[in-house]
Amino acid sequence: MPEKTDSTHKKLIEVVNVSKAFGENKVLQDISLSIGEGETLTVLGKSGAGKSVLLKIIVALMPPDAGEVFYEGKSITNAKEKDLNAVRKNIGFLFQGGALFDSMTVGENLNMILHKHTDLPFEEREKRIRHSLELVSLSDKLDEMPSSLSGGQRKRAGLARSIVLQPKLILYDEPTTGLDPITAGTIAELILTLQTELKVASIVVTHDLPTAFTISDRAIMLEGGKKIYDGEVEGLSDAHHDHLDEFLQAAGLDRTRRGKIIRKVEAEKIK
């Protein structure tokens, strides 16, 4: 595969004109994005907008129908398994449910990756594992099985596993979905802490706007497989686009709308 030219040299990940369809359903159409070292990008969009598919294409879990993905200028779309695995060691991936290996304890989950990819002695590995778990405040869960953790704890343990190899980039698939607002807030804070502490770049897929505002510099918005916004997070509310407005309003804890709905339901009850 050809190497990209100088203009993209600093880019960690570059997605160029990627399209993906499942049968008739065009999930992604001609999507391009890029992210530099230490940057944070949020991918917004409602459920089924192709956000998770985009993440899976970025780590080559799924091949795109068209287009290409570059990691530090090298194409990984049709890369050999060996080259791909070399790239993947630099990428952490937090799955929706944490995806902990449930036949192992939390500590073994982290150790499995360290043991496989580093030559560190046992004591050093243990130190790194404890440090990762400390970062996500789960030091006391080292010997617990994943089944005994709560949903939020599983996500945090999954996050600890994604950072144990000290990656350059972490991909988050819906990190706050299904959590109560307080836990979601803690996770958002955690992501931000990791960014400042470890200087990792992040791509966060979410439909949770408060999280997006807290953690990211830049955002893109997907709708019907197309990119309808790409820019600063602050610019989201100024960019006028029907779907974007709707999305912001729906997420903006709009009390007037709540009042409207309640009045409507009550009016129907009286009838």
Partner 1 sequence: MNVLSRLTVRHIFDKIGKLSIFSARFFAAVLRPPFETKELIKQTYEVGVRSFGLVAIVGIVIGAVLTMQSRPTMIKFGAEAFIPAMVATSVLRELSPVLISVIVAGRVSAGIGAELGSMRVTEQIDAMEVAALNPFNYLVVTRVLACMIALPLLTVYADFLALFGSFLVQNIEAGMSGSLFYHTVISSITFVDFAPGVFKTIFFGFIMGIVGCYEGYNSEGGTEGVGRSATNAVVVSSLLIILVDVLAVKLTVFFFES
Contact with partner 1 (CB under 8 A) among 23, 24, 116, 196: 116
Cβ contacts of 81 within 8 Å, gap of 6 or more: none
Separation of CA 263 from chain center: 38
Cα separation, 110 vs 127, whole angstroms:
11
We find the least distance from the C-beta atom of residue 95 to partner 1, in angstroms, to be 4
In the bound state with partner 1, the residue whose beta carbon lies nearer, of 91 and 209, is 91
Interface with partner 1 includes 95 (CB under 8 A)?
A: yes
Contact with partner 1 (CB under 8 A) among 85, 148, 166, 193: 85
Interface with partner 1 includes 113 (CB under 8 A)?
A: yes
- Spell out, one character per residue from 140 to 169, where the chain touches partner 1: x when CB under 8 A holds, - when not: ------------------x--x---x----
Contact with partner 1 (CB under 8 A) among 35, 100, 133, 191: 100
Interface with partner 1 includes 93 (CB under 8 A)?
A: yes
We find the least distance from the C-beta atom of residue 23 to partner 1, in angstroms, to be 14
Amino acid at 110: L
Cα separation, 171 vs 205, whole angstroms:
8
**Which has the closest alpha carbon to 183: 145, 223, 147, 155?**
155
Cα separation, 222 vs 27, whole angstroms:
10
Cα separation, 233 vs 269, whole angstroms:
42
Residues that bind partner 1 (CB under 8 A): 56, 59, 61, 84-86, 88-89, 91, 93, 95-97, 99-102, 112-113, 116-117, 158, 161, 165
